[in-house]
A and B are shown apart, each in its own frame.
Chain A
Amino acid sequence: MILFLTCFTLMMMLPLIYAVSMSLKPSSELWKFPPRILPVNPTFKNYRDLFTLMSDTWVPMVRYIFNTAFITIVGTVGHIIIASMAAYPLSKYKFPGSKGIFVIIRTSLMFSGAVLAIPNYLIMNSLHLIDSYAALILPAFSSTLGLYLMKQFMDQMVPMSLLESADLDGASEWQKFSRIVMPLVKPATATLLILETQSLWQTGATPYIYSEEKKTLSYALSQLSTSGIARAGVGAAVSIVMLIVPLVVFIISQSNVIETMSTSGIKE
C-alpha cells in the first residue's frame, strides 16, 4: 500500500514539479527539443527578473500585496465567524424557518455562476460598492459553501448532550457557541480557512474594481507575465510565488488540526 501511495502521490505531483522546474530553467532550456522535465542548469534568474519587474510598476508592488493581504485576511476571518454563527443554530436547533433557510442555502450552490456576473454587477452598483474592497469582501462573507461545510461538521461533531448540559449550567447562546461548538469543530475551521484563503488570495481582475491602486496581487503579477514567450519563465515563477502563501496556511492548519483532534475525546 505504501508503494501505491508513493506512486499515486508522485503522479499527482508531476505537474507541480514541472511548474517548479519551469521556473528554475534558464531561457536557453525553456524551449529545447526534446523537452526535459528537470532543468540541467537550474537558476534563480526568473525570480530575479520577476523582482526587477515588480520594482518598477506604476503603483508600487507593496500596494498590490497589501490589497490582496487585506482582502484575504478580512474576508477569511469574517467568513469563518459569520458562517459558523449561522451554521450553529441551523445544525443544532429547530425553529420556524430553520429547515427552509437551509434548503435554500444548499440549493443555491447548484446555480452556475457564469450568468450571475451581470445581476451581481447591477446589485453592486445599486449599493454603491463598485471600486471598493467591500465589493470583494462582502460576497466572500456569505459564501454558501462555507456555511454548508460548517453545518455538516457540526451535525457530526457536536453532541446535543453537551449543549443541553450547558443549558442547565445557564450558559448563554454565545457562550455555548464560542466555548463548546467552535473548539469541537476545529477540523472544519481548518478546512474552511484553507478554502477561503486560497480563493481570496487568488482573486484576479474583477469588473468591480477599476482603480489601479485597489487591484490585487494576482492581477498585477498576471500583467507582468502575460507578455508572450519572452517571459514564460517569469510566468512560471509567478505561479510559484502565488502558491506559497496558501501552501503555508494549509500546512499550518493541517498540522494543528491533527494535534487538537488527538487530544480531545468526543463522546456522545
Chain B
Amino acid sequence: MAEKTKGGRPSGKIVYDNRPLKERIRADMKWTWREIKRNRSKYLFIAPFCILFFVFTVCPVLISIFFSFTDFNMLEAPNFVGFHNYYRMFMQDDLFIKALGNTIMFAMITGPGGYIISLVMAWFLNELPRGLRVTLTVLLYAPSLAGGMTNIFKVFFNSDAQGYLNAWLLEWGVITTRVKWLENENYVVPIIIGVVLWGSLGTSFLSFIGGLQGIGKEYYEAAAMDGIRNRWQELWYVTLPLMKPQLLFGAVMSITGAFNIGSVISGLAGNPSVNYSAHTIMQHLEDYATTRYEMGYSSAIATLLFFLMLFLNQFIQKCINKVGE
C-alpha cells in the first residue's frame, strides 16, 4: 500500500498536528476532494453498476426496513408502530422462536456441510486430466443447472403408490406397510437436510473450480522446494491461501443459502410442515408475506434475519482470514 502524503492526511501513522481543528478538517476535505478528482475515471467505471444497484437493490431494502416499523398490510396506508413488530416476534409469537431454532439448526448443518462438499469435490476434480475434469464438472453441476429438482425428490419419497422408496423397500421386504416419509416428524428433517446437501454443488462449487484454476503451477514448484512434505500441507499452506477470495465468496453464498432454505422445505414437506417440525424463518416469512399480507411484520422478520446473517458473516470472514497461518 502506497503511503499517502498528499494534503493533510498521511494514512496509517499518528502525526502530531498542532493546527486548530477547523484547519485540519479543511485540509482533510481538500485531500479527499483531490483524491476524488484524481480517481475520476474509477468513478466512471463503477457508476453504471452503482446507479442500478442503488435503484433496484438499496432502495427496495430501505423501503422494506421502513415497512418493518409499520403495520402495512397492502390495503391501508401504513401506520408507524415503532418496535412493536420486533417485540411481537420475540414475546408473542412462539412459532417464530421455533422457526428461529429450526433455521439455525438447518443452517449449522447444511452451511458448513455444503461448503466442505463443494471444496473437496472442486479439489478432487482439479487433480484430474483436462477432459475428464470438464466432463465431471458439467455432470456434477447439471443438477443445479436444472434447478427445482425438489419435485423429483417428492416423487421419490412420496407415501402413495408412486413413491419409489416405498415401492422398492416393499419389494425387497424391508418394510411391510408404506412409510409416510414426508409426513413423519422424525424422517422429514433428515430428508430435507439430505436433499439440500445433494443440491449444494452450486455457485460456490463453480467459484472454487475457477479459483483452483487460477493458481499457477509455479507456486507448487516453489512450495516443494521450500519443504512442503505432503498434500495436506500443500492444501493448507499453498492452495487455500491462494484461493482466499473464492473461499470468502463461497462463505457468503453458503450463509445466504443455508439461512434461505425455503423452497426445498415447502416443496418437500409443505408449508406448514407436519407439526411445524421443519418450520424455518423463511417459511414463517412466506406465510406472513404471501398468505396473510402482513408486510410490516414480515419485513421485520426479514430485517432480523438480515442482521443475523450479517453478524455470522463477520465472524466467518475473520476465520477464513486465518487460513494458512
Contact = CB atoms under 8 A, between A and B. Distances in A.
A252 B59 CA distance: 37
A160 to B, nearest CB: 10
Interface stretch (A38-46, A55-63, A65-73, A78-86): A78-86
B41 A173 contact: yes
Contacts of A122: 63
Given A96-B32, A116-B61, A110 B206 contact: no
Interface string A110-126: 11101111111011000
A101 B46 contact: yes
Given A119-B59, A153-B246, A194-B206, A114 B286 contact: yes
Interface stretch (B92-100, B229-237, B297-305): B297-305
B167 interface: yes
In this complex, the interface size class of chain A, counting residues with CB under 8 Å from chain B, is 35 or more
Contacts of B299: 115
A95 B213 contact: no
Nearest to A37: B164
A12 B118 CA distance: 13
Nearest to A30: B162
Interface residues of B, number: 97
Given A111-B302, A156-B246, A35 B210 contact: no
Which label, helix, strand, loop or mixed, suits the secondary structure of the A interface?
A: helix
Interface in B240-290: 242-246, 248-249, 252-253, 255-256, 259-260, 262, 282, 285-286, 289-290
Contacts of B35: 95-96
A74 interface: no
B97 to A, nearest CB: 19
Interface in A213-261: 239, 243, 246-247, 250-251, 254-255, 257-258, 261
A105 interface: yes
A174 to B, nearest CB: 8
Nearest to A194: B206
Contacts of A254: 134, 137-138
Given A35-B162, A250-B141, A198 B124 contact: no
B211 to A, nearest CB: 6
A127 B145 CA distance: 33
A209 interface: no
Contacts of A64: none
Contacts of A168: none
Interface in A1-21: 1, 5, 8-9, 11-13, 15-16, 18-19
A42 to B, nearest CB: 18
B32 to A, nearest CB: 5
B306 interface: yes
Contact of B48 (A9, A37, A85, A112): A85
B322 to A, nearest CB: 17
Given A9-B139, A34-B168, A152-B249, A177 B45 contact: yes
Given A35-B162, A85-B46, A138-B56, 5 more contacts: A18-B152, A19-B146, A86-B45, A119-B63, A155-B245
15 contacts: A15-B149, A34-B168, A86-B46, A95-B36, A105-B53, A112-B305, A142-B56, A152-B249, A190-B210, A247-B138, A247-B142, A250-B141, A250-B145, A267-B216, A267-B218
